[in-house]
Structure 1
Amino acid sequence: MTPEQLLRHYDAASLWSGGCGLSMPEGYERALSVRELRIRRGEQPRGYKVGFTNRGIWPRYGVDAPIWGTVYDTTLSFCEDVGEVWLAGTCQPRLEPECVLGLAATPPARATLDDLRKCIAWIAPGFEIVQCHLPDWKFSASADTVADGGLHARLVVGRKVDASTLPADAAGFEAVLAGARVTLSRDAQKVDQGVGANVLDGPLHALLHFVNALRDCPGAPDLQAGDVVTTGTWTDAWPVLPGEFWRAEFSAPLPTLSIRFS
């Protein structure tokens, strides 16, 4: 499938007839080509999503490693406590509660966890709305998910917490986030629970994995100051419909975030 064909599927929210038939490197090449097409028509990259960092859901989706994709100004929004998302233009959308990181600087070469900690300006709760253009979320191969924009549809970022209020060392910072919990509810009914350690042992570890994967990918642009990185779901991904109201009650240091779908 060509980049132009992929972009038409994204824009039309239409299903593919089958898998992309690509290897993982080819999948990223297609995704980066779609990124260029989106930039040419005026969209601006604002960071990245890291997906499938929650090993607990790998068997459900038939994957065995994390993936990543681009977040754009057209897919990113900020709020304080309650966000709203219009689901039109998404394909089989699902919701994921996540920890979002805001970068103050580009990480150095061969960055360690402590190096990455120094590059973080803020953290925030987030809802990533993921989507899939293959019927019933069934992938032929992991490369399908990469070519499919990393499954990214929307990202809602909640109230920011200044990183200066958190431990300055990587071990302390990660211990706080890895130990944090979330309770996810739909229309006041609890549907799932999770913990920060679910994402490759913690959001900072998820960021480290992503930085190394990004820099190993030919042609991939590096992280920049101001970029947002959403580090993966703490629970399973849950189907969403217009009219629903979802709430993620995170424990400290992340505040609660709610979202309304229309």
Structure 2
Amino acid sequence: MRRLATVCGALLTAQLIIAQPFVADRAMAACVQDAAIDAFVGDFHSRTPTQALGVDASPADARCVQDALVGELTETLGPVIGYKAGLTSAGAQQHFGVDEPVMGTLLEKMMLDDGATVPAAFGARPLFEADLLLVVGDAGINDATTPEEVLAHISAVHPFIELPDLMLAEGQPMTGATITAMNVGARMGVVGEAIPADPSLIEALQAMTVRVTAADGEVLAEAPGASVLGNPLNSALWLMEKGVTFEPGQVISVGSIGPLLPPAKAKGMATVTYQGLPGDPAVTVHFEQ
């Protein structure tokens, strides 16, 4: 049964979100045992390093495990509001031994407002990264085949600091299958103010310089928009190639624009600035010890 949800905080522009169906009865999910999902969910909520799910799983089975996990997490984190692409850079794919990105699922209560304060130890293995959110304007996006066509069906773009959690205990395998199975580390993200989408953004999204700075102004990372599959809009095309059908109002996390960083590097606050987008917007997160 599909459920409706409204996007909270800075995503009020997204209107109504139609959640995708997940496995209602975990007995039907032959790809994973109930006990493994229960243990992972318990460790997720207690922020405890845990055992890998989906070890040696095929891509289809790893996605099946993710669906079972997300089905459990919706009980506390709310309904599905969109999807994320991970490992979108060549360097990240090489590091984890994969030849394409991985796909995760975003839930309503994962989204925090710009300037939010979170514990520095917000997860079992917490990290942060520069990212970007696209808001789906209408279902015509599902027929898009080019970045220009994707942009024509996007209503807004939001600066976004993703706060992923790699979760796995020391020595556990970190592969494309296990990353997919654990929902690509999705835990939280901080959402900046909406930038209305218009055709002029097509080049700006590719050419922008995305800069991450610490509380004292130190530049921690810097990368062009083109580092995400050539253009961040290509993340939407990749997700659709993998079977995602978008609904109006859903959000798309395009993937890391630069490296994953530990919260300690931020010295209490991280700011991501998008030089080249209208107004050079920024988004900030505070890390509390």
TM-score band w.r.t. shorter chain:
0.7 to 0.9
Q: Report the CA distance between 1:18 and its aligned residue.
A: 4.9
1:104 aligned residue (137, 144, 160): 137
* Residue-by-residue CA offset, 1:197-233 (whole Å, 9 max, x unaligned): 0000011111111121134xxxxxx321111111011
Q: 1:41 to 1:158 in 2, by over 3 A?
A: closer
The question of 1:255 aligning with 2:281 is answered yes
Aligned residue in 1 for 2:47:
13
* Residue-by-residue CA offset, 1:34-91 (whole Å, 9 max, x unaligned): 2222334572111112111122332333333211111111211233xx3333355512
Alignment of 1:26-37 (within 5 A): 26-37=61-72
1:207 aligned residue (236, 242, 246): 236
Q: 1:137 to 1:101 in 2, by over 3 A?
A: farther
Alignment of 1:157-172 (within 5 A): 157-163=191-197, 166-167=198-199
Structure 2 stretches lacking a partner, 5+ long: 1-31
How far apart, in 2, do the equivalents of 1:249 and 1:111 lie?
A: 29
How far apart, in 1, do the equivalents of 2:210 and 2:276 lie?
A: 10
* Residue-by-residue CA offset, 1:105-145 (whole Å, 9 max, x unaligned): 12455432243222200001100011112235963421100
1:193 aligned residue (206, 218, 222): 222
How far apart, in 2, do the equivalents of 1:147 and 1:15 lie?
A: 15
Q: Secondary structure at the match of 1:238?
A: coil
Aligned residue in 1 for 2:165:
131
Q: Report the CA distance between 1:157 and its aligned residue.
A: 1.0
Give the letter aligned to residue 196 of structure 2. D
Specify which structure has the bigger relative contact order, considering alpha-carbon pairs within 8 angstroms and separated by 6 or more residues: 1
Q: Report the CA distance between 1:4 and its aligned residue.
A: 2.7
Question: TM-score normalised to the size of structure 1?
Answer: 0.85
Q: 1:75 to 1:64 in 2, by over 3 A?
A: same
The question of 1:86 aligning with 2:119 is answered yes
Question: Quick one: percent identity of the two aligned structures?
Answer: 19
Q: Secondary structure at the match of 1:156?
A: strand
Q: Report the CA distance between 1:8 and its aligned residue.
A: 2.3
Equivalent pair of 2:96/2:175 in contact (CA under 8 Å):
no
Q: 1:182 to 1:109 in 2, by over 3 A?
A: closer
C-alpha RMSD over aligned residues:
2.3
Farther-moved stretch of structure 1 (82-91 vs 181-190): 82-91
Farther-moved stretch of structure 1 (32-41 vs 199-208): 32-41
Q: 1:234 to 1:28 in 2, by over 3 A?
A: same
Report how many residues are paired: 248
Q: Report the CA distance between 1:194 and its aligned residue.
A: 0.4
Give the letter aligned to residue 260 of structure 1. H
1:55 aligned residue (64, 68, 90): 90
How far apart, in 1, do the equivalents of 2:144 and 2:170 lie?
A: 38
Aligned residue in 1 for 2:256:
233
How far apart, in 1, do the equivalents of 2:129 and 2:135 lie?
A: 18
How far apart, in 2, do the equivalents of 1:138 and 1:250 lie?
A: 35
Equivalent pair of 1:53/1:200 in contact (CA under 8 Å):
yes
Give the letter aligned to residue 10 of structure 1. F
